[in-house]
Homo-oligomer: A and B are copies of this chain.
């Protein structure tokens, strides 16, 4: 049914370089024995080939592209743009631009990945300023996509609607949700709550002009409840929410560990419950949901966490493959075009005194 897809990998990014990247390919192929993905692996050829041999990977699935040059994890985006040409990150992205690969995965420097991707692939719509980063958030009811979690600090209503469009398509392509429901993150559920940008986006989304299943405002505690499938917010709020949740999870884990290590009966009890506790930990393991795409580019770019394990990197490959295989790109670009028309009509309507909301 499907032609062979090629995924481009930056082997030198992240805390562990080729061992995790090639290890991730091995993990992915083991978990998906029917997959026909092939890989272009950019970086130090000797190091990559050593890993390919160690994992006994089939030679016809891996194409190694040597370069000595590397973008450092702490390099500033502007620096990476000036000096990054020919690096493993740069070349990995170029493989998508040239059409050789359908997607690229990197565990490297986020700012550099974003800047070089934007330069080479360009944004998919004129209104988009920077790619949005989406997080797959484990909830009581499955996985919710939350975006933006850090790229766009100040967002106007049009950007928030773009996030809704891209997040919806992502949720369907990667998490298989048929008709995702969408919520706008706010400090209350009434129409007059929140700042101007979020109220304006609410008005437009509620108008029904975008063919999205818009649920309305949601609050911080709705994220983990799984109230909706996609949560839209500006990159400042999204980043704080994501890191606050991570911090809370670590805090409670620390308290739990302390409680279970306090005294003999607790230790014994913990031992009895260990298999169940491990299963629970796996459900909130960041590696299980690793792979945050940069949405809004003309091309599929997936960021792996810098500290991800091979299992985690394998999951980021899975995300890239799912996006590349789906109709995500065509769906998003059609909906973004449609959005531009709706917003222009709304502007014209507002000027003559008939806003979109009165037309429904």
CB pairs A–B below 8 angstroms (11 shown):
A138-B251, A187-B239, A225-B250, A237-B237, A244-B244, A255-B284, A256-B256, A260-B277, A262-B276, A265-B273, A266-B273
7 additional A-B residue pairs with CB within 8 Å, beyond A220-B243, A220-B245, A225-B250: A185-B240, A220-B242, A220-B247, A240-B241, A248-B252, A259-B280, A260-B277
Q: Is the CB of A280 within 8 A of B255?
A: yes
Q: How far is the CA of A241 from the CA of B248 in the complex (A)?
A: 10
Q: Is the CB of B255 within 8 A of A252?
A: no
Interface residues of A in 224-245 (CB under 8 A from B): 224-225, 233, 235-237, 239-245
Q: Using CB atoms, name the residue of chain B closest to A268.
A: B272
Contact of A139 among B150, B251, B273 (CB under 8 A): B251
Question: How big is the A interface, by class?
Answer: 35 or more
Q: Which of A219, A240, A252, A259 has the most CB of B within 10 A?
A: A240
Per DSSP, chain A at the interface is: helix
Q: Which residues of B contact A250 (CB under 8 A)?
A: 221, 224-225
Q: How far is the CA of A283 from the CA of B224 in the complex (A)?
A: 21
Question: A270 in the interface, Cβ–Cβ < 8 Å?
Answer: yes
Q: Using CB atoms, name the residue of chain B closest to A139.
A: B251
Query: Within the complex, what minimum Cβ distance (angstroms) separates A18 from chain B?
Result: 28
Q: How far is the CA of A253 from the CA of B249 in the complex (A)?
A: 10
Q: How far is the CA of A235 from the CA of B274 in the complex (A)?
A: 41
Q: Which residues of B contact A262 (CB under 8 A)?
A: 276, 279
Q: Is the CB of A221 within 8 A of B244?
A: yes
Q: Is the CB of B195 within 8 A of A224?
A: no
Q: Is the CB of B153 within 8 A of A195?
A: yes
Q: Known contacts A187-B153, A272-B268, A276-B259; decide if A244 and B241 are in contact (CB<8 Å).
A: yes
Interface residues of A in 52-68 (CB under 8 A from B): none
Q: Is the CB of B270 within 8 A of A247?
A: no
Q: Is the CB of B260 within 8 A of A273?
A: yes
Question: A254 in the interface, Cβ–Cβ < 8 Å?
Answer: yes
Q: Which residues of B contact A233 (CB under 8 A)?
A: 240
Q: How far is the CA of A218 from the CA of B235 in the complex (A)?
A: 16
Q: Is the CB of B273 within 8 A of A259?
A: yes
Q: Which residues of B contact A259 (CB under 8 A)?
A: 273, 276-277, 279-280
Interface residues of A in 172-192 (CB under 8 A from B): 185, 187
Q: Using CB atoms, name the residue of chain B closest to A226.
A: B251
Query: Within the complex, what minimum Cβ distance (angstroms) separates A195 from chain B?
Result: 5
Q: How far is the CA of A270 from the CA of B222 in the complex (A)?
A: 28
Q: How far is the CA of A140 from the CA of B272 in the complex (A)?
A: 27
